[in-house]
Chains A and B, each alone.
Chain A
Amino acid sequence: MLMLDAKRVLTDIVNNKFLHMVSVVTIALSVFIVSSFSLFFNNATDFLDAWRKGVRVITYMSDNVTEPQRTELMETIRNLGGVAGIEFISKDDAYNDLKEKIGQQSSLLDGLDKNPLPDSFEITLADSYRRLEDIEKLSQNIGGLPHVEDVEYAQKWLYRFNGVYNLFKVTGLVLVSIFFIATLLIIANTIRLIMYTRREEIEIIRIIGADEKFIKYPLFFEAVVHGFLGGVAGILMLYLAFILTVPNFAPATVFSLFEIRFISVKFSLTIVLCSMMIGWVGCFFSIRKFLKI
């Protein structure tokens, strides 16, 4: 019976190529839009994560700190939650580093009586401790320790990144939901259109004694096949766009921080599966209204 239904569906698809193509292309475009947003969202998240990983908390010490005091302070910081590593940078090292970085303009530093830079610690954070709130809390704890003059951690940038990240997250969810509903409605309407253009055929099939199952099953089958073909075509379109456009971005500095990646195979399969499911649901609603089940 299933084989016969499959054969009927395939014959029907061949006999009504244009109508089915319209449906498959509609689904493919919807899948393309939703998955391209997911691609953008995934990579934007990777980008922000990569940027955050570069964040260091710099602790400047007051003058006249003795070595035992410094060692004790270092141990205290090391034992605070979220600290993955701590490195002491002496004022002389900092001075030499600065001199090297400014290169030809280092002669400007020659006019100084003494090294104005303080001793400092450069603190790297544990992976699980990169949320803005965690960094803020850690900085406050360090700031309250004796012999600590100031704590810096690129607050301004982190606030901005956090804002952008949250915006991505919220708009991402909202847009994916909107596209999901839009796709569902488009598919439901396309199937309704197919049924409308085939109402005479359905009427004839009914007159010759077909039951509801005989009419319904192939329509569901077709909708799921549309979902599958549209899903696969949408992903392939996205992949084509990806391999054609990404090499143009690669040399840009900002993209050297992380590797732009295509959506995972698992996610692609999920999209195709969702597309098939949407086909089924769209068909369900159309049929319900059309055949008055």
Chain B
Amino acid sequence: MVNGQGKNTIIRMFNVSKRYGKMEALSNLSLEVRKNEFIFVTGPSGAGKSTMIKLLYMGETASSGSILVDGMNLARISRKQIPMLRRKFGVVFQDFKLISTKTVFQNVALVLEVAGLKPKEIYPLVMDVLECVGIEDRSEEFPPVLSGGEKQRVAIARAMVGTPKIVLADEPTGSLDPDSAAQIFQLLRSVHERGATVIIATHDQQMINNHDGRVVRLVKGRMDCEN
């Protein structure tokens, strides 16, 4: 056990609640995620899926309860340690969150710059990952000229490039057509096959039904069922 986590457990949430004023977005949520697990977090809009994802990378802080991520107790880490925690994650958003004034290459390379790598180390790693998501030929383009599917590929490349232990995807196919969505899903599968723990928040029931993986269902901020 490391800080209350089992050897194979990478994330542990215990009685976690998150309140915004009087509104309770998450209520007493407890969840354990093993290393290299592939998990769908599903539920209707407003169920608390995005809130749960944000709590994990400390985009928000929990109102109560405890969260342990790869040995770090999020309630006890200092502000200076937050960047170190975030480097454990690769995060993919529905709205891509790409920097529109940076090229595809620069957007992906930023993760490695943040981690302190030198430019000559960064270049091959970024090109490798762009090739992996099939967008190496557009490395010098700016995000506004890319299609939704291409933007999400860049976002996945950015999430992969630092070889994080955990990849979080918040409605990654939410704004894509079915073909692009299927391709993005396959990419997330390949990230998982490379050894990362993948947590996907989605309400796309068809996608969940078509693929293997643990499903955690949230309703009104509470765990409804797990299978």
Contact = CB atoms under 8 A, between A and B. Distances in A.
Given A206-B86, A210-B83, A211-B80, A16 B113 contact: no
Contacts of A4: 113, 118-119
Interface string A1-43: 0001001100110011000000000000000000000000000
A214 B87 CA distance: 14
Contacts of A210: 83, 114
Contacts, number: 52
Contact of B91 (A7, A205, A207): A207
Interface stretch (B12-20, B36-44, B65-73, B96-104): B96-104
Interface in B175-215: none
A15 B102 contact: yes
Interface residues of A, number: 19
Interface in B99-153: 99, 101-102, 106, 110-111, 113-115, 118-119
Interface residues of B, number: 24
A208 B101 contact: no
B49 interface: no
A214 B162 CA distance: 17
Contacts of B101: 12, 15-16, 201
Nearest to A214: B114
B174 interface: no
A109 interface: no
Most buried by A among B97, B101, B102, B111: B101
Given A15-B102, A201-B99, A209 B83 contact: yes
Given A11-B106, A15-B102, A16-B101, A208 B119 contact: no
B4 interface: no
B84 interface: yes
Contacts of B83: 206, 209-211
B59 A207 contact: yes
Most buried by A among B83, B115, B119: B83
B113 A207 contact: no
A44 B87 CA distance: 62
B112 to A, nearest CB: 10
Contacts of A15: 101-102
Contacts of B98: 204
Nearest to B112: A208
Contacts of B80: 211
Contacts of B59: 207
Given A11-B106, A15-B101, A204-B97, A209 B114 contact: yes
23 contacts: A4-B113, A4-B118, A8-B113, A11-B106, A12-B101, A15-B101, A15-B102, A16-B101, A201-B99, A203-B97, A204-B99, A206-B86, A207-B97, A208-B87, A208-B111, A208-B158, A209-B86, A209-B89, A209-B111, A209-B114, A211-B83, A211-B114, A214-B114
Interface of B: 57, 59, 80, 83-84, 86-87, 89, 91, 97-99, 101-102, 106, 110-111, 113-115, 118-119, 158, 162
